[in-house]
Structure 1
Amino acid sequence: MEQAQDTWQPPPQSIFKLNFDAAMFSSLNRSGYGAIIHNQKGEVMAAMAAKCPKVVCSEEAKLLTCRKAIEFAVGVGFSELVIDGDNSLAMTAISTPKIDQSMLGNVVRDIQHLLRNLHWVRVDCTRRGENRVAHVLAQFARIISENMYWMEDVPSIASEVLYQDLLDL
């Protein structure tokens, strides 16, 4: 889904990619969010790991993570994004213009509202293997005591995966 305010606009010269993932920790009665923003060279612009309340299903976790990740990206100053998640149901729901009547419809509408306020956006569904850093950050949320944010860096636990991704570019 590509959006523009009134007319179609070409993609910006410098595209930033927002990858996000969720993890469910049933034994801890909570979940975790992870997100990373990187440029076309694969360099990290910002990242986050957050602990969150328990969720009912993976689709709920992915949608809540997507909303949190977009809010994070906007909060640190990004308004032109490729948004990449690995749950096809969630990515289809947020990129479809029809009203979502499901129990998660309010979260979908929140995300769509956030997307409308971006200068440029494209929503993609990626393979799980291409979302590894976000996955590691979501898993990292299991052991943190408070939400964590990084600018131009990731925690050491995600560095090796990030390095592997850079080699794959």
Structure 2
Amino acid sequence: MDQPKETKHPTQNLPLESLSQGTPHPSQLGQEEGSTGPSMPNLPTVSRDHRTYPLGMPSARDVWALSNRKLQKASSHSPHFVEMFENFADSLGIEVMLTFAVTSWNIWKRRNKVVFKGLLTHPSTVVQLSQQLVEDLLQLNLKKKTKGFGQPHNTHWEAPPQGKVKVNWDASVDKVSCKVGVGAIIRDWESKVLATFRMKHDLFPDPLMAEAFAALQAATFCKSLGYLDIIMEGDSLLVVSGLTSEREDLTYTSLIIADIRDTLNTFNSWSTRHTFRANNEVAHALSKDALSIIGSTTTFDFIPPCIQTLI
């Protein structure tokens, strides 16, 4: 059996291809005569006059079109990748640059999967996987900074100021059944449990999307109970930062976050805080238990058995 052949291109015409060429259009895929495996497609070359990046890469546009809005608008007048990267680093923030690097890496993996396995990953999946990895890296960096300064983070849940309630939320994912478990708990300034919420819902099993969906359900739950001044607290750094930023991405997760923000803006006052998983274990336990129920359930002035040892 013939081995897949690779079409070589002059390296001077491809300053960005090794990182960002992405996946060719399915119509470009084919098989060499007498071969049972997919051949290397004829990848389009990128000339030195092709200066707009990242949308300038035709075979990666579907991914970048769903990615960070600042990256969609980014451009450079340099034909060399290193110079382009430095220009972006000067004009874009650390989180955007991290998204750029991780997404580029996932685009390259996506391309290789098409070439060598004949499998095309949906662009939204690539973006969602990138977002989750970025969040994991940010979380890791935050923990290192906290440890480095010798200031240990709070290891227990903190009650909200008097007159406010705090809702903690979390999500658990069942990838096999494509189900998401949502858990939320509302407590007052005296640490009294006012209400809990659990829901099992059909959803694409993406962790970041699940966290955003859980936050939306938590905000809606608070609204339905008539609370006016709330604090939203969760352990998803990307969701929390998304709620406080004006970033407008076209991903499904970003649309959910926009819906959360719209809901929160109907309260008299609201704020959102990021916490570590250890401080969010009650909401996490509720979300795990939610995967064992049908539909949704709420409790008032009652502590469900699944969290009785945690309160």
TM-score by length of 2: 0.47
Q: For residues 152 and 65 of structure 1, what CA distance do their matches in structure 2 show?
A: 21
Please list, as runs of the form range in 1=range in 2, the aligned pairs for 1:74-113 lying within 5 A after superposition: 74-113=223-262
> Deviation above 6 Å: which 4+ runs of structure 1?
none
Unaligned runs of 5+ in 2: 1-159
Identity %: 24
Q: For residues 177 and 261 of structure 2, what CA distance do their matches in structure 1 show?
A: 31
Which residue of the partner structure matches residue 57 of structure 1?
A: 206
| Cα deviation code 1:52-101 (max 9, x no counterpart) | 11324111000000001100111011121110010101110111123234
The answer to whether the 8 Å contact 2:184/2:287 transfers is: yes
Unaligned runs of 5+ in 1: 1-10, 163-169
- Give the drift of 1:25: 1.0
Q: For residues 207 and 295 of structure 2, what CA distance do their matches in structure 1 show?
A: 22
Give the counterpart letter for 2:301 in structure 1: E
Q: For residues 178 and 255 of structure 2, what CA distance do their matches in structure 1 show?
A: 23
Which residue of the partner structure matches residue 29 of structure 1?
A: 178
RMSD of aligned residue pairs (Cα, Å): 1.6
Give the counterpart letter for 1:96 in structure 2: S
The answer to whether the 8 Å contact 1:93/1:100 transfers is: no
The answer to whether the 8 Å contact 1:47/1:150 transfers is: yes
The answer to whether the 8 Å contact 1:21/1:62 transfers is: yes
Q: Which moved more, 1:71-80 or 1:91-100?
A: 91-100
More strand by share: 1
Whether 1:72 aligns to 2:221 is yes
Larger Rg: 2
Whether 1:150 aligns to 2:302 is no
- Give the one of 275, 281, 287 matched to 1:138: 287
Which residue of the partner structure matches residue 121 of structure 1?
A: 270
| Cα deviation code 1:115-149 (max 9, x no counterpart) | 11111111100110111111011001121123110
Compared CA separation, residues 27 and 101, structure 1 to 2 (3 A): closer
- Give the one of 17, 23, 39 matched to 2:166: 17
DSSP-derived class of the 1:99 partner:
coil
The answer to whether the 8 Å contact 1:85/1:91 transfers is: yes
The answer to whether the 8 Å contact 2:162/2:189 transfers is: no
Give the counterpart letter for 2:288 in structure 1: Q
Give the counterpart letter for 2:258 in structure 1: R
Give the counterpart letter for 1:26 in structure 2: K
Q: For residues 204 and 251 of structure 2, what CA distance do their matches in structure 1 show?
A: 16
Q: For residues 76 and 51 of structure 1, what CA distance do their matches in structure 2 show?
A: 20
Q: For residues 135 and 31 of structure 1, what CA distance do their matches in structure 2 show?
A: 12
DSSP-derived class of the 1:90 partner:
helix
The answer to whether the 8 Å contact 2:178/2:205 transfers is: no
The answer to whether the 8 Å contact 2:185/2:283 transfers is: yes
- Which protein, 1 or 2, shows the higher relative CO under an 8 Å CA cutoff with sep ≥ 6? 1
DSSP-derived class of the 2:172 partner:
strand
Q: Which moved more, 1:21-30 or 1:33-42?
A: 21-30
Q: For residues 162 and 307 of structure 2, what CA distance do their matches in structure 1 show?
A: 28
Aligned length: 152
